[in-house]
Structure 1
């Protein structure tokens, strides 16, 4: 068995500075650390129990259709999806789908980063099995 001590998601944005503005200023993620210098420096953000690293630059960024079809999505749990919706919309983030309660009980809102990577903001209601376990 592999004993994982830490993890992070790595992204190679087409425009690192544009992505830093999105993740740092618009989403408001806190910086864990930066490395290197100049416009292509790496930036690592705190992402709940993990980290998100922007480093390098995509040589041939995928087209929007390729991004939309990609199997990778960022899943970010938030305390209040409606409040996140209002805050992000006020900061100019395009909301691709407003908060909706899904059949499986989670409240999900969809956005995308500047390169089109889908991001699902998820609120877990207090009575959802991810939080509440009867008899425990």
Structure 2
């Protein structure tokens, strides 16, 4: 199988409310729009909000992982938009700083800051 492109699809209960959340609250840039949907840039991928789903939560184990530069600043910015974290920022045992929020349908969004000394940011190549 040769994968040429991919994106995460979200089918919210209220497409306008969810589109506004991802666009206005999270500040995701729009890649493209079409009748009934919006595709957002999501780091190195895409998030498409379209159609109508049942709403009301996330599939078991499903979450959106978003790396941010400064977790405290991101949480403060979201707070200014009326978004309270489901779980306050904390340092996880695996060395990442994380906070959790939810979209309007309850889909978990994990906000992640990678500390400067974490292996994900450390050049481990031989000199």
Instruction: Provide the TM-score with structure 2 as the length reference.
Output: 0.93
- Identify the residue that residue 33 of structure 1 maps to in structure 2: 32
Asked if residue 132 in structure 1 is aligned to residue 127 in structure 2, the reply is no
Instruction: Provide the TM-score with structure 1 as the length reference.
Output: 0.87
Distance of 2:88 and 2:60 partners within structure 1: 21
Question: Structure 1 residues 56, 135: CA separation in 2 closer, same or farther (over 3 Å shift)?
Answer: closer
CA positional deviation for 1:72: 0.6
CA positional deviation for 1:71: 1.5
Distance of 1:129 and 1:115 partners within structure 2: 34
Distance of 2:125 and 2:5 partners within structure 1: 32
Indicate the larger mover: 8-17 or 96-105: 96-105
Question: What secondary structure, in the 3-state scheme, does the structure 2 residue paired with 1:7 have?
Answer: coil
Distance of 2:8 and 2:65 partners within structure 1: 11
Contact 2:7–2:47 (Cα < 8 Å) also in 1: yes
Within-5 A mapping of 1:1-136: 2-36=1-35, 41-58=36-53, 60-62=54-56, 64=57, 67=58, 70-136=60-126
CA-based RMSD: 1.4
In structure 2, stretches of 5+ residues that fail to align are none
Contact 2:7–2:45 (Cα < 8 Å) also in 1: yes
